Structure 1
Amino acid sequence: MADRLPALFAMDPVHLPRLFPEPLMRRLRAVLDIDPALVAERYEGFAPLADAEVVVSGWGAPRLDAAALERAPRLHTVLHAAGSVKPLVADAGWERLAVSSAADANALPVAEYTLAAILLAGKGVFALREAFRADRSFALGYIHPEVGNFGRTVGIVGASRIGRRVLELLRPFDFRILLADPYVEDAGVLGAELVDLDLLVAEADIVSLHAPDLAETAGLLGAERFAAMKDGAVVINTARGRLVDTDALIAELATGRISAVLDVTHPEPLPADSPLFSLPNVFLTPHVAGSQGNELARMGLYIVEEAERLAAGRPLAHLVDGDLRWRQA
């Protein structure tokens, strides 16, 4: 076992047992010389950093800034058991480090949540639930003419990693799919029609956000685009809260003309007196679309498999392109 790569964990320790349950931890320790009892929550004064060649990081990991990189002369690889790596490594680190991420593993539960929200929204379930709860009765056999998923138009904003998974999951259904993304040239291969964002919001029955959180995407959906949406349109946000002008969304929702499914908001958490908690046409969840519970082990599995590839001298399968990291969520 002397040839195992020296490594350390860096994350909030509370996540370690869910990311690496015992079978996965055994596999990881078979290829990395890593101690689950030593978890870096900060690098300053953390002596094992000096000898580490690999950092296995996760949510709550300290940033590998210039000072930390200087104290880690042997470090060459970061295996991140989570999604976005933008806050994880300072710019200088991208010149010397290979960074792998379990973002693909974290994308799946977000895409699954989104698919469920699209199907339920198309069926009118959120509004019908509110009506049923208020009336405590319904007309047996009544056909609701305004609902259904046959031929409904779904607009996907952003062919990100998650956006693409959503597009894959939508393929078996009878939807018309629109895609708005300035970096996509051929949406046909993704099963979608490429349109600009203004056309998408005007034509889609359901608008689902999957764009990254960048300066240019802040307030991507604002008052004008909400006003352009069809009566009865549904906005789904599982991306980042800043993509939406919250005040403009609240104002449009208050008219009752559109509805929303929101797993993320801006600010987050919302103030306790936010109208989003009480509006009947809002389905609000507390940022749970990403990996939760046993889903963390999927991210851990991705990292164990990457560590096995690294130890065997094989290319990493989930290497992050440092030049494109700014486009990640």
Structure 2
Amino acid sequence: MEKGLFIMRLEPFDYVYPSAVREEIKQFIEILAPPMTEETARLHPELLKQADVIFSGWSGPRLDESFLETAEKLKVLFYAAGSVKPIVTDAVWKRNIKITTAVRANAIPVIEFTLSQVLFCLKNGWQYVRQVKRDKMFPEKPFPIAGSFQSTVGLISLSTVGRGVAEQLKRFDIEVLAYDPFVNKKEAERLGVTLCSLEQVFQQSDVVSLHTPLLGETRGMIRGEHFAMMNQHASLINTARGAIIRQSEMIRVLTERTDITAVLDVTDPEPPAVDSPLYQMENVVLTPHLAGSEGAECGRMGMYMLEELKRYVSGERLKWQVNPENLRIQA
């Protein structure tokens, strides 16, 4: 039987790897020690040297040269979280270590959250919520309501989450636009989206949903001018990363364009500074990075990794294995 360790942030460990999942893992792998953080693991090289596999999650170990020189037997890391970009280095590929991730499992609640907000925003829901609270009466519905019939939704980046949202939107009578310079026309057709420029997404959409990974080239890519060109009563949803938007420019435009609504599950910094105007702006909806896996939802990620383990021990191809090529689309 191969040997393994659990290495990740300890606070969410019991949610990510529920007891039933842990017990089943132990049927296939000899677990060498109780769960530990990366810092604790580096203090116990005698354990790392024995590990054939590592089960990880949020705040997992960075797989750099020094770590892998110690974990010399490591064959596979099961990452029960989202993108592995924070932990993977070139040393992983040089050593042919398999990395598999629950990014698709973690994407499911983000896709669900996004879909709920897209449909609510298409009904001008947040505009009516704030008007009812302000006026203490039901309005005469003066806003033009797009609804989910022949309206337009724009997706910025067809990442794992972006693709999932596109798949969900196929069920509705909605035109879906997408900006992603790495996706070709054939793939776009399969997803049921029309590729266009970033500017066209903002100019033509009733709702814009942001799913771009935070990279050097995407930091600050959404500027004030993009908000300024949005349709009347349009909405933007951000479940990606706050730093993709130039926040000060967004605030300036939203102060002038009070018809626009921004639903922000992420900000930069996160949470916003205590004196941030975002807390006071009526046309900004703030949620506390809620879209991803929370509470019992986290157990889906551990379950995905258990299923991957079963494939691994039976010699099957891993379903969620990461390589340098597919790593790009992970948000």
TM-score (norm 2): 0.94
Give deviations 1:55-108, integer Å, cap 9, x for gaps: 111112231221111111110101100011111133212222110000000011
Separation in structure 2 between the aligned mates of residue 90 and residue 202 of structure 1, nearest angstrom: 39
Separation in structure 2 between the aligned mates of residue 260 and residue 145 of structure 1, nearest angstrom: 17
Shift of 1:35: 5.0
Give deviations 1:277-322, integer Å, cap 9, x for gaps: 1100011101110000111010010000011111111111100012
Residue 67 of structure 1 is matched in structure 2 by 66
Aligned: 1:110 with 2:110? yes
In 2 relative to 1, CA 38–221 (structure 1 residues): closer, same or farther, beyond 3 Å?
Answer: closer
Give deviations 1:216-249, integer Å, cap 9, x for gaps: 1112210221221112111110011111110111
Shift of 1:144: 4.8
Separation in structure 1 between the aligned mates of residue 88 and residue 239 of structure 2, nearest angstrom: 25
Across the aligned residues of Structure 1 and Structure 2, the Cα RMSD in angstroms comes to: 1.5
Shift of 1:161: 0.6
Shift of 1:143: 4.9
Amino acid in structure 2 at the alignment position of 1:241: G
Separation in structure 1 between the aligned mates of residue 106 and residue 28 of structure 2, nearest angstrom: 24
Q: Aligned runs of 1:250-265 on 2, under 5 Å?
A: 250-255=251-256, 256-265=258-267
TM-score (norm 1): 0.94
Residue 150 of structure 2 is matched in structure 1 by 151
Kept in 1, the 8 Å contact 2:209–2:237? The answer is: yes
Kept in 2, the 8 Å contact 1:32–1:307? The answer is: no
Separation in structure 1 between the aligned mates of residue 320 and residue 106 of structure 2, nearest angstrom: 12
Given candidates 8, 29, 32, the residue that maps to 1:32 is: 29
Unaligned runs of 5+ in 2: none
Kept in 2, the 8 Å contact 1:8–1:40? The answer is: no
Kept in 1, the 8 Å contact 2:6–2:34? The answer is: no
Separation in structure 1 between the aligned mates of residue 98 and residue 88 of structure 2, nearest angstrom: 11
User: Helix, strand or coil: the match of 1:99?
Assistant: strand
Separation in structure 2 between the aligned mates of residue 328 and residue 95 of structure 1, nearest angstrom: 21
Separation in structure 1 between the aligned mates of residue 264 and residue 169 of structure 2, nearest angstrom: 19
User: Helix, strand or coil: the match of 2:292?
Assistant: coil
Shift of 1:208: 0.4
Shift of 1:146: 1.2
Shift of 1:145: 5.1
Unaligned runs of 5+ in 1: none
Per mean C-alpha deviation after superposition, the further-off stretch among 99-108 and 315-324 is: 315-324
Separation in structure 2 between the aligned mates of residue 161 and residue 200 of structure 1, nearest angstrom: 19
Kept in 2, the 8 Å contact 1:214–1:327? The answer is: no
Residue 23 of structure 1 is matched in structure 2 by 20
